[in-house]
Amino acid sequence: MFFYLIRRLIYAVPIALAVGFVCFMLVQIAPGDPINAIVPPDAPQDVVDQVRRDYGLDKPLPVQFGIWLLKVVQGDLGRSLATGRPVWSDLQSAIGNTLTLAASASLLGFMLGCVLGGLAGTFRGSILDRAAVTIAVAGVSVPHYWLGMVLVVIFSVQLNMLPAMGAGPGGSADWAWDWEHMQHLVLPSITLAVIPMGIVTRTVRGIVAEIMNQEFVVALRGKGLTGWGVFLHVVKNAAPNVLAVLGLQLGYLMGGSILVETVFSWPGTGLLLNSAIFQRDLPVLQGTILVLSLFFVALNLLVDLVQTALDPRIKRA
Amino acid sequence: MSTTTAAEAELAIQARQAAQSSDGYWKGVFKRVRRDKVTMFCAFILLCMLLAIIFAPLIAPHDPFQGSMIRRLRPIGTPNHPLGTDELGRDILTRLLFGGRLSWFMGIVPVALAFVMGTFLGVLAGFAGGKTNMLIMRVTDVFYAFPSVLLAVAISGALGAGILNAILALTLVFVPPIIRVAESVTQGVRNLDFVDAARASGASAFTVVRVHVLGNVLGPIFIYATSLISVCMILASGLSFLGLGTRPPEAEWGLMLNTLRTAIYVQPWVAVLPGACIFVTSICFNLVSDGMRQAMDVKG
């Protein structure tokens, strides 16, 4: 296990570097000369050259990548072209908000998915099973940004029960765990939770059905265990795989919340990305995507390690 | 005739069984699909939608780009505008019909491109093995390190709005998963006896792949690719919703949803119609893909 941990950590390094390279290349594939975003179009040529040297844009690409990487490692993601503030400072509060949203959505989706999938897997072929499968298919097929709009129409426009926008009263971006703030979390979380709910339902249903077919379940029943006792054994067997799915879903939601954040004006990384795209603020775009992807890489690593530690059937050396 | 003997009846049964077993594999698949009511129903809806968007210019009641300032945001059921009008007074029904063309196009083309590229690279990696496999699969791993929505937004965000950029971004998102599936099924087939037999009888690597490998791996890869169409359609409309895919005044479901978003306080039910179209299309593609997978008895 210890050697596996070391090996897995070492393997994550080239992946992280490659992710950094892709993020670096994002700015390079963008059309137009990045210098045009900094200097006005009517600037004299010597000023343009001066700025180009100051920003290191006259150096060859590999050297630029090296310099960029060194800065990133030190936590310097550059400055926003639109606001002039360091990208990292804007990102910090945004990441917290996105994490709040993604975590509550994954938790909600996870719980619903486990219940639905567990019931469907246990009572294979029943009406319950069919209902769960239908809900799961709908969950993965629904355009969630549209579901968000529908929820806003029902709960904000028609019933006037829940706020439609922002993360707090008066559009404040500071988060607190009171009802004033939490009511803003309800609709975005439900919207974002439908995807993990669908996927977790499918996964749990498959895993539970497979376990129920194994001989040890028959043995447990033969031994005299009923309902609850068998259930605990099934949970113990299903847990490692289900937890792995949950971890990955949290990562997907962190990266995939951009559409939902746009619908609800949730002040997270998605909204930051959205405005960066519109202002063609490439440093913010690059920094946000880099941080979110590295988070995803780290989460993948963690899931792998936890799964290995939890499941004695997986032998990795 | 009543003179049929037991022996003749026996022969007839045998003949029928022989005829059944000589049915091709695909015939059997279609037979099973035809019996699956859910799949047939979804396929029927998709067919209707396809016909509707192909013949959109013939059946649409209005011009998709012609608006009217005095007829903005009419509700559903307005005479002459059965599904109402949008924020520029354009007929919603017309725009949904025309919008389906782009939405379907953007949902299918990236997956088709990714299918071709991913199958080529995946079969190459699976069949060649060794360093080729290492190279292709490690590059694939890098793209797996990005959540798919983020990767699509990142690439099309950097390249800027536009249909071609969105298609490029979505293709790049779907190539890695198809490579992984193609590689794993190819590896499964590569070590089977008939491949060894073909090689032993002197077939070149190209012939082995073309005749013996592709025939066995294309089915599973194709089924996997069809399951991606629904995701691709949602993502493509999502990009348009963010203002990254198609640009106004083009009619596309995601973009319509975006421009109508400001109208949800005025005509809420008109504003959510384009999304309902995306939902129905995507769920039908998903169910048809599921049904085909079951009929072909492909695991995974």
For chain B (300 residues), the mean pLDDT of every run of 10, in chain order, is 56 58 68 82 91 84 77 75 77 86 91 95 89 90 86 86 90 93 88 84 83 85 90 90 83 86 80 89 90 70
Q: Mark yes or no for CB contact A149/B286 under 8 Å.
A: no
Nearest CA in chain A to B154: A289
d(CA A286, CA A22): 9
Could you count the other beta carbons within 10 Å of the beta carbon of residue A29? 12
ipTM of the complex: 0.83
Q: Mark yes or no for CB contact A149/B242 under 8 Å.
A: no
For B145, which of A30, A150, A293 is closest by C-beta distance? A293
Q: Any residues with CB less than 8 A from the CB of B219 and at least 6 apart, and which?
A: B296, B298
Contacts of B242 in chain A (CB under 8 A): 258-259, 262, 274, 277
Q: Mark yes or no for CB contact B145/A142 under 8 Å.
A: no
Judge whether B19 lies within some domain: no
Whether the CB-CB separation of A277 and A26 falls below 8 Å is answered with: no
Judge whether B118 lies within some domain: yes
Q: How many whole angstroms from its chain centre is CA B85? A: 30
Distance, in angstroms, between A42 CA and closest chain B CA?
24
d(CA A64, CA A62): 5
Whether the CB-CB separation of B168 and B109 falls below 8 Å is answered with: no
**A137 burial type by CB count under 10 A (0-12 exposed, 13-18 middle, 19+ buried):** buried
**A257 burial type by CB count under 10 A (0-12 exposed, 13-18 middle, 19+ buried):** buried
Say if pTM beats, i.e. exceeds, 0.90.
no
Nearest CA in chain A to B288: A137
Whether the CB-CB separation of B118 and B178 falls below 8 Å is answered with: yes
d(CA A40, CA B200): 69
Judge whether B300 lies within some domain: no
Q: Mark yes or no for CB contact B146/A30 under 8 Å.
A: no
Q: Would you list which residues of chain B are within 8 Å, Cβ to Cβ, of chain A?
A: 138, 141-143, 145-150, 153-155, 157-160, 230, 234, 237-238, 241-244, 254, 257, 261, 264-265, 268-269, 271-272, 274-276, 278-279, 282-283, 285-287, 290
The confidence score (pLDDT) of residue A12 equals 85
Q: Any residues with CB less than 8 A from the CB of B98 and at least 6 apart, and which?
A: B53, B56, B60, B64, B251
Q: Mark yes or no for CB contact B149/A259 under 8 Å.
A: yes
Nearest Cα to Cα of residue B157 among A184, A276, A81: A276
Q: What is the CATH number of the domain that holds B125?
A: 1.10.3720.10
Judge whether B35 lies within some domain: no
Judge whether B94 lies within some domain: yes
The confidence score (pLDDT) of residue B300 equals 40
Judge whether B9 lies within some domain: no
Is there a cis peptide before residue B249, judged by omega within 30 degrees of 0?
A: yes
Ranges of residues in chain A whose predicted pLDDT is under 50: none
Which structural domain, as residue segments, surrounds residue B168?
51-68+78-274
The confidence score (pLDDT) of residue B299 equals 45
Question: Which of B37, B46, B142, B150 is the best substitution to test chain A (most A C-beta atoms within 10 A)?
Answer: B150
Under 8 Å CB pairs connecting chains A and B tally to 137
Q: Write out the two tokens for A130.
A: 């069919």
Distance, in angstroms, between B285 CA and closest chain A CA?
9
Could you count the other beta carbons within 10 Å of the beta carbon of residue A215? 8
Report how many domains make up chain B: 1
Using a CB–CB cutoff of 8 Å, tell me whether A115 touches chain B.
no
The confidence score (pLDDT) of residue B284 equals 92
The confidence score (pLDDT) of residue A122 equals 81
Nearest CA in chain B to A254: B147
The confidence score (pLDDT) of residue A49 equals 81
For A296, which of B147, B158, B274 is closest by C-beta distance? B147
Judge whether B18 lies within some domain: no
Judge whether B266 lies within some domain: yes
